[in-house]
């Protein structure tokens, strides 16, 4: 019997009681709920390998899960009840910090914030940063190729990973934890598993890049009267600040209104409302005075060029934190406002203003009264382009239009040579959409890779492909 065999594997915990398994069976947004034979929590890579081997022999589907903070149902089992949920939260050791090599080697269940702190304790920076960093795990970050707020300067999760340790669908362990910047010895196996959402194997550990800690960070919030000037501001900031520009976050007036409505301790720093806002951060390796001078000069040039209508520059760490809260609370404010139809899309940066203006107009024509909650990482072309119901329309009635809204937005994304998933992944939410927009050649290649590595189709079936 599979469950008894799983219970006999080392220190693994096997949960079967409904009260114990429930937290692992529903996604963070509450959109997907599945069933499972059990939830298994191994403590070592060897135990993961033994669990995968046992599941392979019994043809039992495996759903790898990290912090369960995903937004596309990628870590949620289906309704069949056949799956084993493989939670990696107990694989949470920092194995090594190598400050000279600029690397940190951690297990997949390490919470992102803890990795940041471990690197910081060694005088290094691990720059991956996102709203769920207090609960999201490194394994999940890598499996979805997470982005976050500093992709502009440091790249996404794929670019931050040098090596991986992976349990393959056969139960074999591939140890590729090499902290090398150059390794030209054949196919790049590492990149197969990053962004694969656990459909090709289970990432159990990673060797990640770290960077020197900046000596100063300065933050400003700019108010703009339209989207297009934000692109001019980005070009100006890149020219004036160069690699010190580490964040360029964008959000609409609607986003700020939601935050101040649902979090009464949050206030807009501007006397009047503006159409759009940009939160900008510089990370300097000289000193506070140099960073502040760069930011002040940038703000003055932006005002002279009429790219911005107003600016607030943080004068302390507390003020900087307050400005960042206005951006970080948008998703939670949306949740409190009610359900909405989310899109995690990317388009070429130069096309962002046209995409927003044209798609907003199209949606308003097709679905009068919709409220657009648009925010994201404008510096790398990633928008969270979300559609909320009109105030006088019930959510259930509005959500009947979800397929049509998806089609409208994703058709527009494709017209602008973009992607329907920038950093959240495909999971089960976008699996059919992905097949609709990718070419036959691309889908056939992806399926061929899946069949080669996972011929039994036990690794997170029903996701991605």
Q: CB neighbours of 173 closer than 8 A, spacing ≥ 6?
A: 45, 46, 49, 165, 166, 167, 204
User: What are the distances in angstroms from CA 157 to CA 130, 190, 332?
Assistant: 11, 12, 23
Long-range contacts of 447-450 (CB under 8 A, 24+ apart): 449/192, 449/200, 450/199, 450/200
User: What are the distances in angstroms from CA 233 to CA 19, 67, 174, 351?
Assistant: 51, 36, 45, 15
Q: Is the pLDDT of residue 11 over 80?
A: no
Query: Do the beta carbons of residue 344 and residue 382 sit within 8 Å?
Result: yes
Higher per-residue pLDDT: 394 or 12? 394
> Which residues partner with 371 through β-bridges?
388
Reported as a pLDDT band with limits 50, 70 and 90, residue 363 is: very high
User: What confidence tens digit (pLDDT) does each residue in 395-425 have?
Assistant: 889 999 999 999 999 999 999 999 999 999 9
Query: Do the beta carbons of residue 144 and residue 70 sit within 8 Å?
Result: yes
Secondary structure element (H or E) that encloses residue 54, with its range: helix 45-57
Helix locations, 63-133, DSSP H: 112-121
User: What confidence tens digit (pLDDT) does each residue in 242-281 have?
Assistant: 999 999 999 999 999 999 999 999 999 999 999 999 999 9
What is the average pLDDT value for the chain, to the nearest integer?
Answer: 96
Instruction: Give the 3-state secondary structure of residue 418.
Output: coil
CA distance 57 to 425: 29
Residue with tokens 């298994």: 40
The pLDDT score that the predictor gives to residue 318 is: 94
Q: Is the pLDDT of residue 428 over 80?
A: yes
Q: CB neighbours of 361 closer than 8 A, spacing ≥ 6?
A: none
The pLDDT score that the predictor gives to residue 299 is: 97
The pLDDT score that the predictor gives to residue 425 is: 94
The pLDDT score that the predictor gives to residue 12 is: 79
User: What confidence tens digit (pLDDT) does each residue in 107-165 have?
Assistant: 999 999 999 999 999 999 999 999 899 999 999 999 999 999 999 999 999 999 999 99
> Which residues partner with 97 through β-bridges?
104
The pLDDT score that the predictor gives to residue 64 is: 98
User: What confidence tens digit (pLDDT) does each residue in 375-397 have?
Assistant: 999 999 999 999 999 988 998 89
> What tokens appear for 70 in the block?
């995903």
CA distance 372 to 125: 35
Q: What is the Cα Rg of the chain in Å?
A: 23
The pLDDT score that the predictor gives to residue 437 is: 95
The pLDDT score that the predictor gives to residue 10 is: 83
User: What confidence tens digit (pLDDT) does each residue in 307-318 have?
Assistant: 999 999 999 999
Domains and CATH numbers, the chain: 2-87 (3.30.43.10), 94-212 (3.30.465.10), 216-331 (3.30.70.2190), 338-437 (3.30.70.2740)
CA distance 275 to 314: 21
């Amino acid at each position: 019997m599979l469950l008894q065999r799983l219970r006999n594997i080392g220190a693994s915990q096997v949960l079967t009681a409904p009260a114990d398994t429930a937290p692992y069976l529903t996604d963070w947004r509450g959109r997907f709920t599945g069933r499972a034979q059990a939830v298994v929590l191994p403590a070592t890579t060897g135990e993961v390998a033994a669990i995968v081997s046992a599941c392979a022999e019994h043809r039992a589907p495996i759903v790898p899960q990290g912090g369960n903070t995903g937004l596309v149902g990628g870590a949620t089992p289906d309704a069949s009840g056949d799956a084993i949920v493989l939670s990696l939260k107990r694989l949470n050791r920092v194995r090594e910090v190598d400050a000279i090599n600029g690397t940190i080697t951690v297990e997949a269940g390490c919470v992102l914030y803890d990795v940041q702190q471990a690197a910081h304790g060694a005088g290094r920076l691990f720059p991956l940063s996102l709203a769920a960093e207090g609960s999201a795990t490194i394994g999940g970050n890598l499996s979805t190729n997470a982005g976050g707020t500093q992709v502009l300067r440091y790249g996404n999760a794929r670019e931050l990973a040098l090596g991986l340790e992976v349990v393959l669908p056969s139960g074999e362990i591939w140890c590729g934890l090499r902290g090398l910047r150059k390794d030209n010895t054949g196919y790049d196996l590492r990149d197969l598993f990053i962004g694969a959402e656990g459909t090709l194997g289970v990432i159990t550990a990673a060797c990640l890049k770290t960077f020197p800690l900046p000596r100063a960070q300065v933050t400003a919030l700019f108010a703009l009267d339209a989207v297009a000037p934000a692109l001019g501001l980005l070009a100006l900031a890149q020219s004036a600040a160069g690699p010190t520009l580490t964040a360029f976050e964008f959000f609409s007036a609607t986003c700020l209104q939601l935050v101040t409505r649902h979090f009464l301790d949050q206030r807009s720093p501007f006397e009047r409302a503006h159409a759009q806002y940009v939160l900008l951060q510089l990370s300097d390796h000289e000193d506070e005075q140099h960073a502040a001078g760069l930011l002040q000069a940038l703000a003055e040039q932006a005002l002279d060029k009429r790219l911005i209508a107003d600016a607030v520059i943080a004068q302390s760490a507390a003020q900087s934190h307050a400005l960042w809260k206005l951006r970080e609370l948008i998703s939670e404010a949306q949740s409190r406002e009610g359900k909405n139809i989310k899109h995690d899309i990317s388009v070429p940066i130069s096309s962002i203003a046209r995409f927003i203006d044209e798609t907003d107009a199209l949606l308003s024509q097709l679905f009068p009264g919709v409220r657009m909650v648009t925010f994201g990482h404008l510096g790398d072309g990633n928008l969270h382009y979300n559609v909320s119901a009109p105030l006088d329309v019930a959510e259930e009635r509005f959500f009947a239009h979800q397929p049509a809204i998806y089609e409208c937005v994703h058709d527009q994304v494709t017209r602008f040579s973009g992607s329907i998933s920038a950093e959240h992944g495909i999971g089960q939410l976008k699996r059919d959409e992905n097949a609709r927009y990718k070419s036959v050649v691309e889908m056939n290649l992806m399926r061929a890779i899946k069949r080669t590595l996972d011929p039994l189709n036990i690794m997170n079936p029903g996701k991605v492909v």
